[in-house]
Amino acid sequence: MIGMRIAGGVLTVAALTGATACAASDQPAAAPASATTMVMPAAASQPPAETLTPLLQQALPNANGKNFTSAIVTFPPGARAAAHRHGDAFVYAYVLDGTVRSQLEGQPVSTFHQGQNWIEQPGSHHVLTENTSTTEQARLLVVFVADPGAQLKVDDPHS
């Protein structure tokens, strides 16, 4: 029950933050209008890759030395992310559209549908993230709490 309240609270903050970023682009905390979608490259023989579109990045006033970053991650049909880590970031993911299959190292594979969410503890190894559909995209709202300037996604060297 407490976990559900925490997830609901994080979702509320994330949704409000996303709305703020979209509605108030003149505020200094919002991502600059010139921010572009970052495409995670994929080799020709691999499935399509995801794209990450930053929404907002802001220092957390009550967590000294931590930034709050929100982004939309879009998985085209059949897309699969390379195995990766998020460094020392705490990660919250919420499925906006579609269905995503996910697995953290040492845990079973889980499938998340629109409206469902999960968290990743700092240092987690994300070994599987994929769109289960070959015809529809999947989209996630992802929130990172990380050190300022930290790389938010680091692909495994041999993925």
What are the tens digits of pLDDT across the range 100-129? 999 999 999 999 999 999 999 999 999 999
Q: If pLDDT is split at 50, 70 and 90, which confidence band does 44 have?
A: low
What are the tens digits of pLDDT across the range 22-36? 433 334 344 443 333
* pLDDT greater than 80 at residue 149: yes
Predicted pLDDT of residue 109: 98
The CA distance from 17 to 35, in Å, is: 17
Residues sharing a CB contact under 8 Å with residue 88, sequence separation 6 or more, in sequence order: 122, 123, 146, 147, 150
The CA distance from 16 to 13, in Å, is: 5
Q: 2-155, what's its fold?
A: Jelly Rolls (2.60.120)
The CA distance from 139 to 152, in Å, is: 18
Residues sharing a CB contact under 8 Å with residue 111, sequence separation 6 or more, in sequence order: 99, 100, 101, 102, 132
DSSP at 135:
S
Higher pLDDT, 39 or 79: 79
Give the three-class secondary structure for 17: helix
Higher pLDDT, 19 or 106: 106
Q: If pLDDT is split at 50, 70 and 90, which confidence band does 90 have?
A: very high
The CA distance from 147 to 130, in Å, is: 27
Q: Where are the domains of the chain?
A: 2-155
Q: If pLDDT is split at 50, 70 and 90, which confidence band does 58 have?
A: very high
What are the tens digits of pLDDT across the range 121-137? 999 999 999 999 999 99
What average pLDDT does this structure show over 69-88?
A: 96
Q: What is the CA radius of gyration of the chain?
A: 15
Predicted pLDDT of residue 10: 45
